[in-house]
Structures are given as structure tokens and as C-alpha cells.
Amino acid sequence: DAHVTKGDGVVDPADPAALANGAKPDLTFAQCTANPTACPADVFTAPGAYVQNAAGAYVPYTGPGGVQRGQSIVGSQLPNAPKNKIAINTNYTYEMENGSLIGSVSYIWRDKQYGSLFNRDYYIAPSYDQWDARVTYKAQNNHYTIIAFIKNIGNTLGYEGGSTASRRAGFLPGYVTGANTGAGALTPIPVTAQGTSVANIAPVHIQESGIAVGYLLTPPRTYGIELQYRF
């Protein structure tokens, strides 16, 4: 399935990433699933997904001097849409006289993803993987089920989506105003502290951007036992 997104001027001045009503992403999606079965008690599944997504738009922003300038987002990944995902699951059922015992192990891997339509480094959430496992006992009369599980066995960091980013208090935008060295001089220079430049010229480039990055993490290692009883 493929669509094309086109920006249509300023939709929301407060949100430069906003798109016009009816705009759709340029999206190509492919997914495959393998379900080989060695025997009735042994099942292996390996669904995989490849998502090639991109936006096709020019989003205006307000630059120095209050003048709106266009910036291309053509080819950018859509927010919170990793390009690749892999999920593998295998389970085995052991039949007994008074019930059945089912063991299951799952593995997932998710590619890096951006938290914004603007694919900046500070919007990236890294790729991660996770292992899960469970053992299920089912009584022959199906009156009760006991499940022992553990999720995120390696207690690894996982990310629900791309990162958020904001400027920390006490930091200025990329340029501040000072005295020009000459008519039309626009060469930025580094500064030693907020609002203090190594020379009295402008515009002044802030060395430290002061960007705070935040992530929404997946749950840490979780384990427990669940009892289901049917009347």
C-alpha cells in the first residue's frame, strides 16, 4: 500500500509538524509469517515485519528574524514506526495422564525509531530485544490452569516509542543577538557561557544545546504465577 503526503502551508503555527487534514503518509508495508509444525505438540512461529515509511512534505519553521523557512522531511521515517521488527515464538506440549504441560519461549527485536517526524539524533530510541518465557499446566478436566511466567528475562531496556526532546531551562536557542562585525555579517562563533561570547560579534552560536531527552520504557523483568479456575 502506498500513499503520498504533501504539506499544505502552515496548518498549526504552534505545531510545525502538523499536516493538513486528509494528508496520508508515504508507506510501504510488507509482512511475512512462517508456521512450521514438526509434530502436533511442537509449534514454531516467526512473524517478521519490514516497514519502509517516509513523509513527503515541506514543513515551515520560523528562523532567525521571524522569517518562515521551509525544511524538507522527504524520506524521513514516520514517528514511532521502526523500520524492522522480528518476533519468534516456540512452544512444546508434553501430554500427561492428568493433564498437559506447555513450555513457551518468545524473542522480539525492534529496530531504532524516531519520536518525531523530524529525524534528529535526539529523537532516536535505540533498537532493543527481549526474551520472555512461560510454563502452563492444564488439568485434563480443564477445570484449572496454572501459568508460571517471566517477561524481559535479561532485564534489558526497551522503548515503547521514539524519544521526546525539549530544551532545558536556562539555555537559549541556537543564536542570540549581539553586535555585527560588518554589514550582513552572519558567521556564528562559539560562546563560553550563556549569553557570553568569546568576541563581541553576532550572531552568537550556543555551544551546548541544552536538550533534554526522555524515553517511555517497557516494563523491567517481571515474573509471577497465575491460577485460573473454571466452575
- The residue extents of the domains of the chain are 26-171+209-229, 172-208
Whether 197 and 178 have beta carbons less than 8 Å apart is answered as yes
Q: Is 122 helix (H, G, I), strand (E, B) or coil?
A: helix
Whether 149 and 132 have beta carbons less than 8 Å apart is answered as yes
- Taking the mean position of all CA atoms in its chain, how far away is CA 132? 21
Q: Is 213 helix (H, G, I), strand (E, B) or coil?
A: strand
Question: Alpha carbon of 95 to those of 28, 78, 140, 143: distances in Å?
Answer: 44, 47, 10, 16
- Rounded CA separation 15/174 (Å): 19
- Taking the mean position of all CA atoms in its chain, how far away is CA 36? 31
Q: What pLDDT is recorded for position 177?
A: 44
Q: What pLDDT is recorded for position 49?
A: 55
Q: What pLDDT is recorded for position 179?
A: 45
Q: What pLDDT is recorded for position 66?
A: 60
CB-count burial class (<10 Å; 0-12, 13-18, 19+) for 204: buried
Residue 222 cell numbers, joined: 517481571
Question: Alpha carbon of 128 to those of 7, 116, 133, 179: distances in Å?
Answer: 33, 19, 17, 48
Q: What pLDDT is recorded for position 4?
A: 37
- Rounded CA separation 12/8 (Å): 11
Q: Sign (positive/negative) of CA torsion 194, 197, 201, 207?
A: negative
Q: What pLDDT is recorded for position 145?
A: 96
Whether 125 and 113 have beta carbons less than 8 Å apart is answered as yes
Which amino acid is residue 15, in one-letter code?
D
Query: What tens-digit pLDDT sequence spans the chain (231 residues)?
Result: 333 334 444 444 444 445 555 555 554 445 555 566 555 556 666 655 555 555 555 555 555 566 666 777 888 888 999 999 999 999 999 999 899 999 999 999 999 999 988 888 889 999 999 999 999 999 988 899 999 999 999 999 999 998 888 777 666 554 444 444 555 544 444 444 444 444 444 444 444 457 888 889 999 999 999 999 988
Q: What pLDDT is recorded for position 228?
A: 94
